[in-house]
Amino acid sequence: MARITGVAREATGPEARRVFERQEQFYGAVLYNHAVLARRPAVFRGFRAMWDGLEEDALLSARLRDLLNLKVATLIGCGL
């Protein structure tokens, strides 16, 4: 059980809502770490800026990265 609850989409700003919508389309749900970080908008923006920058300069193709994420999630029992 999580110790910190995530924020509801309705309580977030438009930037977080857009991220949540993309995650729901891609993963079927909002990722827990994003829901928790969205409680602090400035931290959320910094977190997303880091990941957006990493995705821009990625060494792996998007498809290969997605397959790798799926494999790791399976190995750790994530249920993705």
| Assigned token pair, 62 | 């998007």
> What is the sign, positive or negative, of the torsion defined by CA atoms of 80, 25, 66, 9?
negative
The residues spanned by each domain of the chain are 9-76
Coil, strand or helix: which one is 20?
helix
| Assigned token pair, 24 | 């729901």
The secondary structure of residue 79, as a DSSP letter, is -
Average pLDDT over residues 20-38: 90
pTM of the model: 0.70
| pLDDT for residue 2 is more than 70 | no
Phi, psi of 57 (to 5 degrees): -105, 30
Can you say how many angstroms the Cα of residue 14 is from the centroid of all Cα atoms in its chain? Answer: 15
pLDDT digits (tens, 9 = 90+) for 12-28: 888 899 999 999 998 88
